[in-house]
């Protein structure tokens, strides 16, 4: 199965929560560095630092479950500070039970792969 890509957006970080958001994100990144199934995890802030966009890439769809499970407490705190996550899913391969579970149970936009360069 091909890699699994996602974009997660924390849509509203109150300026008073920015420093705490950064601290928690840094703690989570320490854990992410230990997870070999996470190929990329890059966080970006809008110019006014009120939105955080996360570009994620995993070895497979199952790996995103591992990430969410291992970082559940930190993700919950980040969501409290940055707003409910707005997600978009970009799987290369469209098959598999993990992918079906994500499609059925997650509130994310799903995008079907068309063309690409390896």
Strands 86-91 and 108-110 come out as parallel
Q: Where are the domains of the chain?
A: 4-110
Q: What is the pLDDT of residue 94?
A: 65
Give the DSSP H/E element, type plus range, for residue 62: helix 61-70
Q: What is the pLDDT along the chain (118 residues), one digit of tens a residue?
A: 567 899 999 999 999 999 999 999 999 999 999 999 999 999 999 999 999 999 999 998 888 889 999 999 999 999 999 999 999 888 776 676 777 777 776 778 888 878 887 6
Sign of the CA dihedral 4, 9, 23, 79?
negative
Is the distance from CB of 31 to CB of 70 less than 8 angstroms? Answer: yes
CATH of domain 4-110: 3.30.70.100
Give the residue among 71, 68, 43 at the shortest CA–CA distance from 56: 43
């Amino acid at each position: 199965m091909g890699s699994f890509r996602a974009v997660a957006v924390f849509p509203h970080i109150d300026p008073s929560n920015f420093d705490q958001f950064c601290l928690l994100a840094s703690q989570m990144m320490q854990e992410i560095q230990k997870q070999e199934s996470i190929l990329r995890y890059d966080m970006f802030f809008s110019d006014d630092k009120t939105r955080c966009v996360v570009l994620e890439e995993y070895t497979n769809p199952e790996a995103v479950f591992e990430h969410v499970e291992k970082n559940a407490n930190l993700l919950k705190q980040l969501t409290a500070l940055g707003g409910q996550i707005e997600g978009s899913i970009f799987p290369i391969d469209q098959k598999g039970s993990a992918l079906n579970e994500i499609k059925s149970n997650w509130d994310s936009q799903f995008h079907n792969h068309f063309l690409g360069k390896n």
